[in-house]
Amino acid sequence: MSQTPGKNPRPLLEVRSLGKRFPGVRALHQVDLTLMPGEVLALVGENGAGKSTLMKILAGVQPPDEGQILIDQKPVTIGSVAEAMRLGITLIHQELNLSDNLSVGANIFLGREPTRFGLIDRERIDRESRRHLASVGLDVDPQTLVRDLTIGRQQMVEIAKALSIDARVLIMDEPTSSLSQREAEALFKVVQGLREHGVSVIYISHRLAEVETLADRVAVMRDGENAGELVGDHINHDAMVSRMVGRDVSRFYERTVRIDGTANGSEQPRPPALEVTDLVVPDHPMHNVSFQVMPGEIVGIAGLVGAGRTELLRCLFGVTQPLGGSVRINGQTVQLRNPKDAIASGMGLVPEDRKEQGLVIDFSVRSNVSLASLSDKAGAGMWIDFAAESEDTRQSINRLRIKTPTADQIVRYLSGGNQQKVVLGKWLAMNPKILLLDEPTRGIDIGAKEEIYRLMETLAAEGLAILFVSSEMEEVIAMSDRTLVMHEGEMTGQLVGDEIGEEQIMNLATGVVSR
Amino acid sequence: MNKILGIFGLLIFVCLFTTVLNDSFVGQYNLYNTTRWSALFGILSIGVAFVIITGGIDLSIGSVVGLVACLLPMLVVEQGYSPTAAVLIVMLVAAAIGLLHGLLITRLDLQPFVVTLCGLLFYRGFARWLTDDGTLGFGQDYDGLRLLAIGKPCSWATMLFGGGICLFLYGVWNLGRSRPPGDPDVDAPRRRDLDVERTISAWSIPAIGVLLAVAGSSRFWSGWESGPGTPLFEIAGYQIRSLGIEVSEHAASMPSTVMKYAGTVLFVPTLLAFLLWAWRSDAGRMKKPLALVIGSLIMLGLCVWQLVPLFRSAAADDRWQVGAMEVSGEMLKTVLMMIVFVIVGGVIGSIGWLISAAGTASGKSKALTPALVATGVMALLGQTQLAATMVPMPMLIMIALAIVASIFLNRTVYGRYLLALGRNEEAARYSGINTKRMIVVAYVLCSLAAGLGGILFALDVNSVQPSGFGNFYELYAIAAAVLGGCSLRGGEGNILGVVIGAAVMRVLYNAINILGISTKLEFAIIGMVILAGAIVDVVVKRIVAKRAVLAAEEAG
């Protein structure tokens, strides 16, 4: 399957029929991969396709069961992370591995600090860090604490750290998942620069659009096997997706019906399910926000990272207190002092960070599904209704098609998509009127994404008002009846129906125009 | 469940071990004292378990015990309050302390360690200043009040009878109450299996109840308690006297006999069924642990046969000729003890392995485990004088508290909230739980338990020295909670485990005394046991996690 570009015939890294089994699961099977010097190889595939396992083997985190790894055409065994680094292979994890209480320089030289007379040579750290930072185009003082940097800059520090140990192969796992557009673009530039300096990059991403622009070659994985490679002009969205899922799929999920919430039609006017007037979110005290969501309507909130969308949802859900303005639910003004109030008035929030805010990750599926509705269904206000709990859980598992061996399975051991479905199940168990979703499909695979879209649509058809925040442009465009766009805490505009398009959203999101 | 079985196994083996080396351990006097102290520390441990479940810690328990123990005699003896009023006042003080801790932790976001550490210092100092470091006590008066701590309301036989009846009724209610509807997703043969498992575990509760009731009631066949007009209840100066039926000496030991035989008779078939089912479901996995269990049981038999007599006959100042060496009696005893210790450890480990191997292999054998354990324990207890021993009043209080606490933790939404916020406070808050209020509740419960413990300790000892009374009790309580399966990271814990943990601590302490091991080693031994428990816990958790990952992957 391997392709060899003409001008440089000697691959830097070669993987031959690599296999890895976990008890009961075949994680990798007969995987071949070649990497040329100065090449950007994108690795795509659904969750569980074996990308992470392959990368962990290359980075020395796990040993392979069978197969060979060759560097400069010599077979090597990579027994540990340190050994991988010595061979020039560095993995940059999705969750960054920096000590945020230490300075940038200290992080770059962590574990191999240069010393003078037995003491850490701060000057040298400073000097060399500056050099490495400059090579990734980052202009920060090496003595800045890492926690004072944005996520995007922290990522650059990681890359600088990798370069400082003369990495020849840089493996980046979902590097843009928490970056803003601008930060992501800066990252792309650095990757281009690396390529010119002969560093090879293995780039893992779910975002196929950036793969299209960045990659020289794409390797697609499916069920632990190679599912094909694409080179040059053949790299496009549909080709990648069809190889990932093993069948042809339409470009994106398409909704069957859309409603126009702004027009009330012939029916008698209903009050909006959610009406927000001049709400001042504490994180952006200079702006106020007004909008409404009708029952049965799906409203998307688009914007760049840091536009204040998550903060708006948190404020609506009572996690933070608004500095002004009012919220009306079904025509009634409500005071939302805490999430409890919000839930009592019929709201549910699927938060951005499902492991920290959405789930008690070490609880069973059952206990998570029932957590929010427990007190409503409790006898005499305190006795847990175990029968109702089991019934709700069974319904959630069936309706949301949660793949779990039993209702008592600990949620930590489910896949990301199934975890997200458990969070949804928690809110469905209490029959909400308004559902707030914050990045509902982040980090979950295409199959589960589609199921969540379908569910959003069904719920809206049943009369639920849905307000969702998403950084994936395609998702906002495909799913929303109406799109609100935010820019630095301000609501810069509203798009309805055919107006919802990539260009219009970007103009509003970057604050170029507003209306 | 496995965790409770594990800590219970440890308790049984420490008891067995001690009994084998010195059978005064199971004499009436020692059993009474051990159960009394276990109960007193159990009360403190139940309280701190709530705080630990929220992910916090309470270091002030010992000082609260000391403060309450000083306040009570001061109020009653010096200020002349009525006992009831005094008890209410000190409990209010304890509740206020807990409230203060909770508010400081939730409203000011202080760390529990810091707040309660300051509490530890403050209440101790305050109590010493208040009493001017003078020893306090109730003297010979206030017997009514002191019965709370030193009362002996009934014998263990009566307890068994009462407990057995309650368990039987609960089991029958449980049987009639809920049959989970057949899961349509499960295929027919698997459903049949599930039915068998459910039937076994549902019936085993009332069956154990009947067995206990029958054993305990043998006392009644020949007379109520142990003779004419013996005290049945002694509470607050009242004595409810029992039926005046003359009974022989023999009758007093009837419950033990019944337990011994009934337990043994039932134990053998249950064990056989357990092994058979476990074997059939996955023979390969069973062979190794089974061989190990048989091997270690043989070793245990040999060591009881050979080493124990040697141990008993060796006086500390004897000189023994072993081969060419001359060893002192003390040395010999230490060496023998270590050998026995290793062998007993092997037995604990291999039986734990057997249970875990069988437990994962088959639901049926798992369902049989409680019945197996219960009958085995009864057969063992039948060999002791427990049935004729009196129940200390604190034990009754502790049992009542444990039942209430257990229901609170497992059956009410508040208990569920505590567990949820202990695991992930933010997710709990996002689910509409008033987490701050629940944390305050946990600290109030903990201090209340410490207050109750303080009252009972003061009444029991009757001589309170403000400078040292209750020192280190918080550490015993925390250790018991951790041994019993609470995680200091929060979100994990069960009351039964904690109570058993407290018992293990006391039994260990008692064993050290009774076996004549230098009490200087006391802390060292207790520390080692807790460390071993923590290590085993981590290892077991890893295995469980690995299995869960596999199960999830198989499901897709």
- When pLDDT is cut at 50, 70 and 90, the band that residue B149 belongs to is confident
pLDDT band at B235 (very low <50, low <70, confident <90, very high): very low
Bigger pLDDT: B68 or A148? B68
- Locate CATH 1.10.3470 in chain B: 26-151+393-555
Say yes or no to pLDDT of B336 above 50: yes
**Is B126 at the interface with chain A, CB within 8 A?**
no
- Interface contact B431, partner A, CB < 8 A: yes
CATH match of B26-151+393-555 with 1.10.3470: yes
Percentage of residues in chain A having pLDDT higher than 70: 90
The chain-wide mean pLDDT, for chain B, equals: 82
Question: Is residue A213's pLDDT more than 60?
Answer: yes
User: By the 8 A CB rule, do B64 and B450 touch?
Assistant: yes
DSSP codes of every residue in B386-437: GGGSEEPHHHHHHHHHHHHHHHHHHHBHHHHHHHHHHH-HHHHHHTT--HHH
Quickly tell me which residue has 């650059």 as its tokens. A156
From A344, A363, A403, residue closest to B423, measured CB to CB: A363
The pLDDT score that the predictor gives to residue B182 is 52
Task: Judge whether B169 is closer than 8 Å to chain A, CB to CB.
Answer: no
**Per-residue pLDDT band at B117 (split at 50, 70, 90):** very high
Measure in Å the smallest separation between the Cα of B181 and chain A Cα atoms: 10
pLDDT score at A317? 92
**pLDDT for the residue numbered B97:** 96
pLDDT tier at B57, thresholds 50, 70, 90: very high
Say if the Cβ atoms of A367 and B416 lie within 8 Å: yes
Which residue from A minimizes the CA distance to B428? Answer: A360
Cβ contact B213:B164 at 8 Å: yes
Say if the Cβ atoms of A360 and B427 lie within 8 Å.
yes
Tokens standing for A287?
């702006």
Among B90-99, B163-172, B272-281, which is the least confidently predicted range?
A: B272-281
Report the share of chain B in percent with pLDDT over 70: 85
The dotted CATH code for A13-245 is 3.40.50.300
Higher pLDDT, A381 or A25: A381
Task: Examine the pLDDT at B263 and tell me if it is beyond 90.
Answer: no
If pLDDT is split at 50, 70 and 90, which confidence band does A6 have? very low
What's the mean pLDDT in A472-490?
Answer: 85
Give the residue extent of every domain in chain A.
13-245, 274-509
Diameter over CA atoms, chain B: 75
- Average pLDDT of the segment spanning A74-82: 85
pLDDT tens by residue, A48-69: 677 878 888 888 888 888 888 9
As a whole number of angstroms, the distance between CA B329 and CA B179 comes to 62
Residue B483 in this model has a pLDDT that exceeds 50: yes
| Most confident listed range (A14-18, A305-309, A442-446, B112-116) | B112-116
pLDDT of residue A192: 87
Rg of the Cα atoms in chain B:
25
| B424 in contact with chain A, both atoms CB, cutoff 8 A | yes
Cα atoms in the Cβ-side hemisphere of radius 13 Å centred on B396: 21
Q: Is the pLDDT of residue B230 over 60?
A: no
Chain A residue numbers with beta carbons less than 8 Å from the beta carbon of B428 are 360, 371
- 3-state class (DSSP) for residue A229: strand
B304 versus A276: which is more confidently predicted?
A276
Q: Is the pLDDT of residue B249 over 70?
A: no
Q: Please name the residue of chain A whose CA is at the shortest distance from the CA of residue B490.
A: A362
Q: Do A413 and B552 touch (CB under 8 A)?
A: yes
**How many Cβ atoms are within 10 Å of B518's Cβ, its own excluded?**
11
pLDDT band at B496 (very low <50, low <70, confident <90, very high): very high
Question: Which of A344, A384, A405 faces B416 most closely, judged by CB atoms?
Answer: A384
Q: Is the pLDDT of residue B3 over 90?
A: no
Judge whether B420 is closer than 8 Å to chain A, CB to CB. yes
Burial of B540 (0-12, 13-18, 19+ CB in 10 A): middle
Query: Which of A221-230, B24-33, B449-458 tops mean pLDDT?
Result: B449-458
Q: What distance in Å separates residue A299's CA from the closest CA in chain B?
A: 22
Q: Give the CA count within 13 Å in the CB-facing half-sphere of B504.
A: 34
Q: Which residues from chain B sit within 8 angstroms of residue A22, using beta carbons?
A: 550, 553
Which helix (H) or strand (E) segment holds residue B196: the answer is helix B188-221
User: What value does the mean pLDDT take over residues B417-446?
Assistant: 93
Q: Is the pLDDT of residue B68 over 90?
A: yes
- Is residue B303 pLDDT above 90, yes or no? no
Q: Which residue of A has its CA nearest to B430?
A: A339
pLDDT at A1: 37
Angle in degrees, 0-180, between the axes of helices B61-73 and B28-53, rounded to the nearest 10: 120
State pTM to two decimals.
0.80
- B548 at A interface, C-beta within 8 A: yes
Determine the distance in angstroms separating the CA of B552 from the nearest CA of chain A, rounded to an integer: 6
Token reading at A164: 């400082």
Cα(A146)–Cα(A103) distance, rounded to whole angstroms? 6
Q: How many CB atoms lie within 10 A of CB B158?
A: 22
Other CB atoms within 10 A of residue B539 CB: 10
A286-313: pLDDT as tens digits: 888 999 898 888 999 988 767 888 899 9
Q: pLDDT value at position B26?
A: 86
Q: Kindly report which listed range (A73-82, A265-274, A451-460) carries the lowest average pLDDT score.
A: A265-274
Q: What is the pLDDT of residues B175-184, one digit of tens each?
A: 876 555 555 5
Mean pLDDT of A398-424: 85
B243 touches chain A (CB under 8 A): no
- A22 contacts B553? CB cut-off 8 A: yes
Residues 3-22 of B with CB under 8 A from A: none
Partners of B549 on chain A (C-beta within 8 Å) are: 413
Q: How far apart are CA A369 and CA A346, in angstroms?
A: 16
Span B442-456, average pLDDT: 96
CATH of A274-509, one of 3.90.79.10, 1.10.1060.10, 3.30.470.30, 3.40.50.300: 3.40.50.300
Confidence at residue B94, expressed as pLDDT on a 0 to 100 scale? 96
The mean pLDDT of B126-140, rounded to a whole number, is: 88
Per-residue model confidence (pLDDT) at position B346: 75
- What is the DSSP-derived secondary structure letter of residue B357? H
Q: What is the pLDDT of residues A221-263, one digit of tens each?
A: 887 888 888 888 888 877 887 777 665 444 456 666 666 555 5
Mean pLDDT taken over chain A: 83
The stretch A73-96 carries a mean pLDDT of 84
Rounded percentage of chain B residues whose pLDDT exceeds 90: 32
* Numbered residues of chain A with Cβ closer than 8 Å to any chain B Cβ: 22-25, 317, 319, 338-340, 342-344, 349, 351, 356-363, 367, 371-372, 374-375, 378, 381-384, 386-387, 390, 403-405, 409-410, 412-415, 426
Does residue B61 carry a pLDDT above 50? yes
How distant is the Cα of B434 from the closest Cα of chain A, in angstroms?
7
A340/chain B closest Cα distance in angstroms: 4
Distance from CA of A337 to the nearest CA of B (A): 11
